[in-house]
């Protein structure tokens, strides 16, 4: 997703802007730009298509010691990736950077006849609109921004500077995050706190409908209706090491390999092994209310959706008389779905900023349904708008492909389910096995990763030339297969899809030929025999099958068997998913593609 940075203070603005944009690169972008102002307001605007390195080439010949400026990495929505469409956009004496989508930009543009449009972007329309209020001096910069935003429909996170006032930045947000870093005689702006790390730990998280006037030593926040807001300065809850590669070649491998530690953070203080119980502080639902819960709606997109789907299978296993429905946010938000009495909605999102998930949350809240966040990014919009929540605490997830967040989201939702079951008086003999396995998972994850990574790398190289893949699984291995297929497709661009094993004969079996290879997740258990016979269905069509299993002896004539420990029974699919993560990673490395920033994708999809 697009990234915003801004600086006003006593240091070199160009240096901060470039380093800040590099921190936001992981979010995905296709062009970048910065503008700085000297003490007289003389602007230096630099923009480039492609990577920030291209922008740095231009910077080398345009070094300035300016101390105020704004910058942007753009992920194209309106207008192709190009220098003309890159932000900042200029209108008169102002420059603007913008995250989000101005939905009514076409009708606004019709009235802005005095502006000579140079780009195809909705952002330039917003810049021209602000300037239409600013240019004749009737409004100050912040008031011109307010007047313009009152006419805007859509989402925005913006930063604006003016050549007339080279000591102030105006920022505003509605639907796209903005954080203000408080330094000593300097103030920084970013769309993601990671850009502030190493500069300050103090931050103000702007809320929707707020606008702020920022100088090197002041921040004044108000609403669009000019009501002053007493902004809360918060501690940024992460550190520099967490957003660096720590010796790994890619963030993705680092985040796969740190899952033992990240899951431990998710479990910290929440599991009582002696009692065999869990305790979640965040949701804040009284015991009596937990007992009344009859229906769960789990909402997410992509990997978060898969985590919810997998968690729903587990919650049904140990929580009687409740129904669990897992829905894709972008679909559910437009359905006229009835949510019955005694329901709770789990809103799952690593970034806490996904537009469709946020919109779904707001729709569900309109029905008066209690909403619980399963979120990673501290202070994110979803985390702030839910009624209660459980942070998964896996630390910043930088790589576009989500891995450690998935594992912890599943377990966090399972723990929420166990909390309900405990309140409903489900026998400890039913719940304790799950709690014991949860406590053992970090170590089991560590062992699985260490034991499998060399073998998976070797196998990935052997299958690197296939363009089509099928993931297969039954029961809890089916949502896990869906997640495995997503991992492979989103970073290696292999056409990978998942099917429930039982669905093969209803159509997908027709696909099997030498263009495809298959990865089957086959855990021990009452459905093992059925899955084994499904494997034989594929082998009978000369499938090229890899089986991931925790059975001791798997002797069907598949091409490869990747064996994992059988010490974990219920959550074996989470260990199998590690194999899928590693397989996607090594396949992508073998193909030579960009592991952390795959084409066309962004880490946090804050536009619809």
Cα–Cα distance between 293 and 285 in angstroms, integer?
10
Task: With CA atoms as reference, report the closest residue to 397 among 548, 254, 533.
Answer: 254
> What's the half-sphere exposure (Cβ side, CA atoms, 13 Å) at 350?
28
349 vs 476, which CB is nearer to ligand AGP? 349
Cα–Cα distance between 589 and 91 in angstroms, integer?
44
| Cβ neighbourhood burial of 50 (10 Å; 0-12, 13-18, 19+) | middle
Sheet holding 560-563, edge to edge: 495-500, 468-473, 516-522, 545-549, 560-563
Beta bridge partners of 175: 156
349 binds ligand AGP (CB under 6 A): yes
Contacts of 503 (CB under 8 A, 6+ apart): none
- The window from 217-225, 270-278, 344-352, 543-551 that contacts ligand AGP (CB under 6 A) reads 344-352
Cα–Cα distance between 285 and 420 in angstroms, integer?
10
| Catalytically annotated residue among 2, 22, 360, 404 | 2
124 vs 483, which CB is nearer to ligand AGP? 483
Cα–Cα distance between 122 and 106 in angstroms, integer?
8
115 vs 489, which CB is nearer to ligand AGP? 489
Task: With CA atoms as reference, report the closest residue to 413 among 559, 314, 528.
Answer: 314
Least spacing, CB of residue 400 vs ligand AGP, in Å: 5
**Binding track, positions 472-491, relative to ligand AGP; x by CB under 6 A:** ------------------x-
Least spacing, CB of residue 373 vs ligand AGP, in Å: 11
Least spacing, CB of residue 507 vs ligand AGP, in Å: 25
Place of tokens 């068997």: 561
Cα–Cα distance between 275 and 497 in angstroms, integer?
41
CA distances from 279 to 196, 345, 517, 567, 578 (A): 33, 19, 43, 24, 27
Least spacing, CB of residue 481 vs ligand AGP, in Å: 15
82 vs 604, which CB is nearer to ligand AGP? 604
Task: With CA atoms as reference, report the closest residue to 155 among 511, 561, 608, 475.
Answer: 608
401 vs 449, which CB is nearer to ligand AGP? 401
512 binds ligand AGP (CB under 6 A): no
Judge whether 360 counts as a catalytic residue.
no
Is residue 19 within a helix (H) or strand (E), and if so which, with residue range? helix 13-24
CA distances from 272 to 314, 430, 442, 568 (A): 19, 15, 15, 19
Least spacing, CB of residue 521 vs ligand AGP, in Å: 18
Least spacing, CB of residue 153 vs ligand AGP, in Å: 23
Least spacing, CB of residue 11 vs ligand AGP, in Å: 32
302 binds ligand AGP (CB under 6 A): yes
303 vs 492, which CB is nearer to ligand AGP? 303
Cα–Cα distance between 366 and 503 in angstroms, integer?
37
CA distances from 74 to 45, 97, 237, 354 (A): 15, 9, 26, 17
- The window from 196-204, 271-279, 349-357, 450-458 that contacts ligand AGP (CB under 6 A) reads 349-357
450-479 per-residue burial string, b: 16 or more CB within 10 A, e: under 16: eebbeebbebbeebbebeebbbbbbbbbbb
Task: With CA atoms as reference, report the closest residue to 101 among 118, 120, 87, 121.
Answer: 121
- The window from 283-291, 347-355, 366-374, 467-475 that contacts ligand AGP (CB under 6 A) reads 347-355
86 vs 576, which CB is nearer to ligand AGP? 576
Question: What is the DSSP track for 398-442?
Answer: -SSS--HHHHHHHHHHHHHHHHHHHHTT--HHHHHHHHHHHHHHH
- Say if CB 62 and CB 46 are below 8 A apart: yes
| Catalytically annotated residue among 22, 370, 489, 603 | 603
Tokens of 341: 């009495």
260 vs 302, which CB is nearer to ligand AGP? 302
- Using the rule CB under 6 A, which residue among 59, 304, 346, 420 binds ligand AGP? 304
Least spacing, CB of residue 316 vs ligand AGP, in Å: 23
448 vs 604, which CB is nearer to ligand AGP? 604
- Using the rule CB under 6 A, which residue among 277, 357, 390, 549 binds ligand AGP? 357
- Say if CB 123 and CB 89 are below 8 A apart: yes
360 binds ligand AGP (CB under 6 A): no
213 vs 401, which CB is nearer to ligand AGP? 401
CA distances from 431 to 119, 340, 420, 435 (A): 59, 27, 11, 7
**Binding track, positions 261-300, relative to ligand AGP; x by CB under 6 A:** ----------------------------------------
- Say if CB 2 and CB 209 are below 8 A apart: no
Least spacing, CB of residue 215 vs ligand AGP, in Å: 33
- The window from 50-58, 179-187, 198-206, 346-354 that contacts ligand AGP (CB under 6 A) reads 346-354
38 vs 237, which CB is nearer to ligand AGP? 237
- Using the rule CB under 6 A, which residue among 108, 301, 372, 521 binds ligand AGP? 301
Q: Which of residues 389-418 bind ligand AGP (CB under 6 A)?
A: 400-402
User: Which residue of this chain has its Cβ atom nearest to ligand AGP in the complex?
Assistant: 302
Least spacing, CB of residue 280 vs ligand AGP, in Å: 19
3 state DSSP class of 97: strand
Least spacing, CB of residue 479 vs ligand AGP, in Å: 13
- Using the rule CB under 6 A, which residue among 354, 381, 390, 408 binds ligand AGP? 354
103 vs 608, which CB is nearer to ligand AGP? 608
**Binding track, positions 432-471, relative to ligand AGP; x by CB under 6 A:** ----------------------------------------
351 binds ligand AGP (CB under 6 A): yes
Least spacing, CB of residue 490 vs ligand AGP, in Å: 6
Q: How many residues bind ligand AGP (CB under 6 A)?
A: 15
Strand 68-74 versus strand 31-37 pairing type: antiparallel
Judge whether 603 counts as a catalytic residue.
yes
Interface residues with ligand AGP (CB under 6 A)?
301-304, 349-351, 354, 357, 400-402, 490, 604-605
**Catalytic site residues?**
2, 603
């Amino acid at each position: 997703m697009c990234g915003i940075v801004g600086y006003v203070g006593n240091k070199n603005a160009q240096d901060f802007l470039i380093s800040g944009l590099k921190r936001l690169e992981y979010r995905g972008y296709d062009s970048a730009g910065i503008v700085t102002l000297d003490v007289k307001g003389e602007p230096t605007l630099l923009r480039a298509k492609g990577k920030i390195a291209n922008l740095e080439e231009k910077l080398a010949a345009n070094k300035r010691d300016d101390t105020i400026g704004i910058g942007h990495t753009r992920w194209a929505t309106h207008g192709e990736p190009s220098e003309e469409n890159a932000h900042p956009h200029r209108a008169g004496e102002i420059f603007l950077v913008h995250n989000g989508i101005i939905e009514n930009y076409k009708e606004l543009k019709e009235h802005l006849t005095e502006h000579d449009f140079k780009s195809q972007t909705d952002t330039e329309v917003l810049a021209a609109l602000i300037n239409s209020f600013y240019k004749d001096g009737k409004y100050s910069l912040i008031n011109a921004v307010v007047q313009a935003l009152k006419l805007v429909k859509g989402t925005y996170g913006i930063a604006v500077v003016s050549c007339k006032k080279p000591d102030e930045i105006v920022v505003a947000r509605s639907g796209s995050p903005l954080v203000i870093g408080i330094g000593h005689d300097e103030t920084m702006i970013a769309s993601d706190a990671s850009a502030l790390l190493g500069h300050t730990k103090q931050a103000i998280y702007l809320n929707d409908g707020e606008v702020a006037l920022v100088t090197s030593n002041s921040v004044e926040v108000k609403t669009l209706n000019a009501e002053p807001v007493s902004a809360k300065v918060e501690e940024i809850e992460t550190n520099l090491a967490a957003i660096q590669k720590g010796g790994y070649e890619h963030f993705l491998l680092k985040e796969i390999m740190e899952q033992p530690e990240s899951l431990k953070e998710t479990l910290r203080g929440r599991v009582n092994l002696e009692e065999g119980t869990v305790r979640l502080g965040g949701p804040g639902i009284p015991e009596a209310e937990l007992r009344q819960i009859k229906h769960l709606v789990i909402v997410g997109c992509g990997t978060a959706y898969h985590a919810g789907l997998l968690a729903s299978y587990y919650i049904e296993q140990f929580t009687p008389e409740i129904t669990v429905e897992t829905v894709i946010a972008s679909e559910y938000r437009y359905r006229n779905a009835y949510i019955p009495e005694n329901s709770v909605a789990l809103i799952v999102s690593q970034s806490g900023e996904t537009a469709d998930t946020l919109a779904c949350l707001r729709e569900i809240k309109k029905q008066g349904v209690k909403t619980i966040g399963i979120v990673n990014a501290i202070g994110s919009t979803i985390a702030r708008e839910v009624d209660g929540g459980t942070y998964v605490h896996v630390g910043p997830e930088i790589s576009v492909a989500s891995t450690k967040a998935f594992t912890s989201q599943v377990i966090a939702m399972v723990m929420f389910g166990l909390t309900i079951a405990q309140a409903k008086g489900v026998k400890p003999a039913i719940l304790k096995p799950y709690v014991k396995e949860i406590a053992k998972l970090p170590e089991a994850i560590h062992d699985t990763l260490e034991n499998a990574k060399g073998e998976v790398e070797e196998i990935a190289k052997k299958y690197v030339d296939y363009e089509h893949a099928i993931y297969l699984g039954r029961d809890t291995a089916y949502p896990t297969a869906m997640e495995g297929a997503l991992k492979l497709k989103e970073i290696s661009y292999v056409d990978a899809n998942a099917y429930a094993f039982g669905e093969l004969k209803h159509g997908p079996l027709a696909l099997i030929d030498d263009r495809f290879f298959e990865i089957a997740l086959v855990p021990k258990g009452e459905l093992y025999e059925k899955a084994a016979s499904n494997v034989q269905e594929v082998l009978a069509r000369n499938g090229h099958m890899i089986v991931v299993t925790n059975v001791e002896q798997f002797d069907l004539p598949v091409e490869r068997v990747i064996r994992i420990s059988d010490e974990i029974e219920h959550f074996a699919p989470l260990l199998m998913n590690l194999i899928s993560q590693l397989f996607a990673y090594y396949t992508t490395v073998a193909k030579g593609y960009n592991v952390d920033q795959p084409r066309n994708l962004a880490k946090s999809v804050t536009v619809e």
